[in-house]
Each structure stands twice: as C-alpha cells, then as structure tokens.
Amino acid sequence: MKLRWLSLLLVLLCWTSAQAEVVSKIAAVVNNEIITTHQLDLKLTEYLASQAQGKIIPTEQMTAMRHQLLDRLIEEELVQQKIKELKLSASDAEINEAITDVQRQNSITKEQLTLALQGQGLSFEAYRAKMRDQILRFKLIGREVQSKIDVTDQEIRDYFRDHIDDYREPPTIQLDHLRIPLPEQAGTLQIESAKQRAQQALDRLRAGETLAAVLADTEGATGGPMGLFKERELSPLIREALAGKQTGSYSEVVDTPTGLMVFHIVGRIAGSIRNFDDAKIEIRQKLTDQDREERFKTWTRELRKNAYVDVRI
C-alpha cells in the first residue's frame, strides 16, 4: 500500500511540475540560468505589498515596474553566480553574529525580533536566509570594489562645509507662560469669563506689564518660567502658537488641555555647530558607503555587459 501511495505521490508531483512549466514562462535567461515569470510575479507581489499599500496603479506604470523588477532579478542572479564562482560562503557563526548585532543595535531580544518579523510576514529562518545573502553580498563587494575606495580628508572637509546645517545642533527657545485653568465640567459662563481674563492678561503683558504683576491680580492665574526647549520638543499646538513670533513677543491665547495659556518668548539660542573632528569619522563612513554603492552599481553593469542575458518578456 505504501508503494502504491508513493507511486501516486510521484505522479502528482510530476503532473504539478508539468503544470508549472505551462503556467510559468521564461522571463529571462542569465548565462546558464533562467528567471521565470512566476519568480517575477512573486517579486512584484512583494513589492506592491510593501510599497503600493492598496493604491491603484495604471497599466503602463505596472508594466514599467515589472521590467524594473526583472532588471533587479537579473542583477541578483548575476551576483549569485559570481558568489558561486568565487566560492564565497557565510557560516552559521557569521549569521548568528550579524543577527546578534541587529538585536544589540535595536536593544531587542531574539523573541522580540521574531515577533517583529512575524508582523512583516517573515519567519525567522527566512530572515536568516536573507541575512546570509546580505553577508555574501558584502563579501563580494569587499572583494570586487572595496580596494578601489579612497575617501580623502579634503572630500570630508568639503562635505562638512556643503552640509553644515546637518551638523548644527537644534536651536533652543526659552519660554515663560500664564495659565488660567478650566474645570472639567465648565459651563458656558465659566468659559467666557476665563477667556475674558486671559485676553485682559495678554493685553496687559503686551502693554509692558511684568508677568509677575499680571499673575498677582488675575483671578485663578498661574504661570512663570517654563525653561529651555529644543523647538522640536514642543507640542505641535505650542509650535503653531509661536510660529513667526520674535523674541520678547507673546502668543495669542491658546486653548490647551490644561487650560487657557499665553506663551512668552524670553529668548532664543542658535544651535552650535558640531566640532569637525567629532563629525569626521561619521562623514568618512557616509562617503565610503556612497562610494561603495556607486562602484558596485558600475561593477554590476559591467558584469551584465559581459554576461549572456536574454530578456523574453
């Protein structure tokens, strides 16, 4: 009986394979290997799931996208063929070390990483396979283009000068405030009364009275110095209220979850520029990565030029 079931299984497998041959056509021939339309469709599905996010894509754009993804598959196939030719390999220890490094950089455990991968529809074993491919790609890049990369000190200085705003600390703003709280179940009359008191207080402040004096004789008012803040640390509500305001000026009355508030810009401190020597290593790495990527693209184009590639769709 087992033999009969085995024979039936083999027949079914052969039939399924034959059916796949009919459904999946050859999209491209790359040296002695083929890329099927099935592989291309899987790549397209993966791309649409991560990038399109349910948007309707016109037919012309979809066609162009398929050709772009096919080019990417051809590149990947050529890279894999070169890796095999050079007999490069990635050991389990190297893969484990790379995954541990990912966990360390993101301050997560293996269990948390596994859950994050599941949220992306990826098993841990599939992630290991992707990590293996990435390690092999890095090794290939190191062998083929790394030795040609040379970032000079002058290039680093030029980059620092041209992108100086990227190395400037964010400016800070010093604030104080006045607040008139509102009860959770405030009625219309209470709200109107609070608004009138807040507007009167703002008018007095703009007329030149001190915050201490206004606080002292405004019913229910509290306030004082708030301290120094990086502007990006402020809530969107406060940033909007202070937009375009100069040092020394006051905001309009702002309705916040904690009550009616008026903000005063006491001062601004421009962000200091990072020391060049502190940024030098970071810039060198950035330029090295850019150079490596460009050289690898050039190398890949040469690899394709010297390969047999027959696109059939």
Q: How far apart are CA 231 and CA 173, in angstroms?
A: 6
Whether the per-residue pLDDT at 10 is higher than 60: the answer is: no
Whether the per-residue pLDDT at 303 is higher than 50: the answer is: yes
Number of CB atoms found within 10 A of residue 238's CB: 21
CA dihedral sign, ordered 148, 131, 64, 18: positive
- What pLDDT score does 13 carry? 37
- What pLDDT score does 23 carry? 61
The model's confidence at residue 54, banded by pLDDT at 50, 70 and 90, is low
CATH (one of 3.10.50.40, 3.30.70.2860, 3.30.450.40, 3.40.190.10) for 169-269: 3.10.50.40
Query: Can you tell me which residue has the tokens 């696109």?
Result: 311
- What pLDDT score does 58 carry? 84
Domain extents for the chain? Answer: 169-269
Whether the per-residue pLDDT at 267 is higher than 60: the answer is: yes
Number of CB atoms found within 10 A of residue 280's CB: 14
CA distances from 2 to 5, 8, 14, 47 (A): 5, 10, 18, 43
Whether the per-residue pLDDT at 77 is higher than 90: the answer is: yes
CA distances from 293 to 134, 196, 240 (A): 14, 62, 41
For the entire predicted model, the pTM comes to 0.55
Whether the per-residue pLDDT at 142 is higher than 90: the answer is: no
Mean pLDDT throughout 35-46?
90
- What pLDDT score does 14 carry? 39
- What pLDDT score does 135 carry? 94
- What pLDDT score does 182 carry? 85
- What pLDDT score does 62 carry? 86
Q: Model confidence over 82-111: pLDDT tens digits?
A: 999 999 999 999 999 999 999 999 999 989
Instruction: List the single range of 118-122, 123-127, 179-183 with lowest mean pLDDT.
Output: 118-122
β-sheet bridge partners, residue 311: 28
The model's confidence at residue 118, banded by pLDDT at 50, 70 and 90, is confident
* Main-chain phi, psi angles of 188, to 5 degrees: -60, -45
